Amino acid sequence: MNSAILAPKIRVIDANGEMRGVMTVPEAIAVAEEAGLDLVEISPHADPPVCKVLDYGKYKYEMQKKAAEARKKQKVIGIKEIKLRPTIDDHDFGIKMKSAKKFLEEGDKVKITLRFRGREMAHQEVAHKVMSRVRTILDAYSKVESEPSFEGRQMIMILAAR
């Protein structure tokens, strides 16, 4: 901004948006002061750098508004967890899959946790059947990010939205 511009020659655009041509920094600052505004370097990597005559406070405010708007439109991907049991009933399973579909359609990842109690650990083939059933039902909505694996007394699989 103003005297902090280091380039020897700059391309100047005035307050009305009209091209004023290539000039030295002191000449451009004189044009800006004449208009009662600041000289701001817009694109420093151009050859020669482009500077614009404008109100710096207003320019800074506009840039903050644009950044806030961009942050507002950003979608943060969360991980939603669905907890199952090896002996889950068909109706309960259907309800869990319905909510998993909803989470995947919203763009979130889904962590399927299958918890074991007592002697259920002896029948791990039942758990593999439940996980493969989950995989086939949610195949149209997701891709497997993490294959089913054991962590202590639970089996975990992570699905990501397509």
pLDDT in tens, 21-57: 899 989 888 888 888 888 888 888 888 899 999 888 8
Pairing type for strands 79-84 and 109-115 reads parallel
pLDDT (0 to 100) of residue 93: 95
Query: Do the beta carbons of residue 58 and residue 38 sit within 8 Å?
Result: no
Which residues of the chain does CATH 3.30.110.10 include? 79-161
The CATH-assigned architecture of domain 79-161 is 2-Layer Sandwich (3.30)
Which of 33-42, 90-99, 144-153 has maximum average pLDDT?
90-99
> What would the two tokens of residue 143 be?
């891709």
What is the architecture, at CATH level 2, of domain 2-72?
A: Roll (3.10)
Alpha carbons 46 and 23: distance in angstroms, whole number: 15
The predicted model scores a pTM of: 0.57
